[in-house]
Amino acid sequence: MKRISVFQIGARRSYATAEIFHRSNILDSLYTDLFFSSTQADILTRIAKRIGSHSVSRMAGRSSCTLPSDLVWQSRTRALPHLLRPRRQRSLSQELQSSCNYSDSIAEAVMKHIDCNTVLYTVNREAPKLGEFVRNNGGRVIVEQTITTLEHERKTLIEAEEKVRRILKNIPVLEETTQKKINWFYDRETTELDNADGIICVSNYVSESLRKIGLPDDKLKVVPSGLSLPNLRERKASRYRPLRVLFVGAVSLRKGAPVFLEMARRLASEMEFRMVGQQSLPSTYLASFQDAVEFVGPIPRAKVEDHWSWGDVLLFPSFNEGAAMVTYEALAHGLVVVCSRQSGSLVKEGINGFIVQPWDVDRIEECLLSINSDLELRDNLFEGAFSNRKDVSIERYGNDLVSAVSTMA
C-alpha cells in the first residue's frame, strides 16, 4: 500500500485522520496551514489566558501529541495574517471566496513539496487544484466528503423551509434560503469530485446524495466518523426532575432549530429545553421562546462537557448534514438521541434513540413524550446508548478508515 499525504486546513478533529495513518505506519506527511509543537501550544495557552485572546487560544489547539513535527509541513507566513485578521460580516459567497482563496494559496505552496508517488488524502472543498496537480503527475487522490454538495444543500433547505412554513407559524425570512446560486463554487465541487479516485463518505446520507448526481458506487465508501470516548457511568432515569432536552449547534434552519423551538413551545410545561450555540435566527423570533428555552449562546468547545452532563436527550432535527458530530458526542456521553436521518448519525432506532423526519413535529413530540413518561423505556435507551458507545469510538473509525483507504490506494 502506498503511503498517504494528508492535506487539511485547520485542526479538524484534532488531526485524527493524520494520527490514524501515522499509527498504522502509512503516513508520509501532513500538509496544513498552521501547526505547533506541544511545548509551543502550552506557551500559547498561557499567553491566551493572560491576555484574554480567543484567537490565540484557538491557535493553541493546532497541535498534536502524536504527530512528530518532522512529518508536518506548514505555512505560518500565510496562516497567521489570515487567522489574525479582523472578522467582518460577509455574505455566504464572500465567505466561501475568502476561504477558498486561503486554502488554494496553501495548496499551491504544497505543490512544490508534495511527493506525487504518495496518495493524497484531503477534505472536500479544500484542495481541488492540489488534487488535480497530483493526478496529473501520476498520483492518486482520495477525498473525504464531510457534507453534501452546496448545491444539494441549497435545494434541500428551500424544500425544508417550504415544509416548515406549512407546519409552523411566524417563521422569519431566512438568509439561508434567500442566498443566490453560487455557480463558481458548484463547479469547484464538481471538479473536485470528478478528479477523485475514491471518495470517503461520512454517512449513508452523503453517499446517497452523491449517487443522485451521477457518481458511481465503486468510487464511494461509507466510513462514519469517530471520537475519543469519555469515562463515564451509565445514566439512570431521574424520577425527581423534568426530562432535559438539549440542542447543540448553530441555531439555524439547516440544523433544525425552528423545529426544536416548536417542541419547546409545546412541551415546556413538562420538560426543560436548552440550546447551546451561535444564534443565526433573528433575535426577535428567538425572543418569543424565551420562556420555553434557555439560550446559552456560543461557548468554547471544552465547556460543552457541562451541557452533556446536564442533558438527558439530544434533539437534533437537522435538515442537511454530513455526519453531525454532536450526535456522536451525545451518544459517547450516554444521552438518548432523537435526530433526523439527514443528520448522518449512528443512532439505532429504539435502541439508543429515534430517527425522525425533521418536519414531522407530531412524531418528534410523540418520541419526547414517550421518553418522558415511560421511565423503563428511558432506562433502556440509556443502557443502549452506553452499551453501543463503541460504534462512535475513534478506534472503530480508525480501523474502518484504514481498511477503506487500502482498497482505494
Cβ neighbours of residue 150 closer than 8 Å, sequence gap 6 or more: 96, 182, 185, 186, 189
Q: How much is the pLDDT for 332?
A: 96
Q: What is the pLDDT of residues 201-254, one digit of tens each?
A: 999 999 999 999 999 999 999 999 999 999 888 888 888 899 999 999 999 989
Regarding pTM above 0.75, the answer is yes
Do 334 and 232 touch, CB atoms closer than 8 A? yes
Fold of 243-392: Rossmann fold (3.40.50)
Nearest to 247 by CA among 335, 360, 348: 335
Task: Identify the bridge partners of residue 355 per DSSP, sorted by sequence position.
Answer: 339
| Interval 257-283 mean pLDDT | 95
pLDDT score of 173 more than 70:
no
| Interval 329-341 mean pLDDT | 96
Task: Identify the bridge partners of residue 267 per DSSP, sorted by sequence position.
Answer: none
Q: What is the pLDDT of residues 3-42, one digit of tens each?
A: 999 999 999 888 999 999 999 999 999 999 999 998 999 9
243-392 and 4-226+394-408 share a CATH fold: yes
Domain locations along the chain: 4-226+394-408, 243-392
Q: How much is the pLDDT for 60?
A: 87
* Answer CATH for 4-226+394-408 from 1.10.357.10, 3.40.50.2000, 3.40.80.10, 1.10.275.10: 3.40.50.2000
Distance CA 32, CA 335 (A): 34
**Residue type, position 248, single letter:** V
Distance CA 341, CA 181 (A): 26
Nearest to 144 by CA among 109, 115, 111, 120: 120
**47-51 contacts: CB < 8 A, separation 24 or more?**
none
Q: How much is the pLDDT for 181?
A: 78
| Interval 381-399 mean pLDDT | 96
Q: How much is the pLDDT for 92?
A: 79
Spell 276-295 as b/e; 16+ CB within 10 A means b. bbebbbeeebbeebeebbeb
Cell of 149: 454538495
User: Do β-strands 353-356 and 119-123 pair in parallel, antiparallel, or remain unpaired?
Assistant: unpaired
Distance CA 264, CA 294 (A): 10
Q: What is the pLDDT of residues 99-122, one digit of tens each?
A: 999 999 999 999 999 999 999 999
Edge to edge, the sheet with strand 271-276 lists: 294-297, 271-276, 243-248, 313-316, 336-340, 353-356
How many other CB atoms are found less than 10 A from the CB of residue 363? 13
Do 114 and 5 touch, CB atoms closer than 8 A? yes
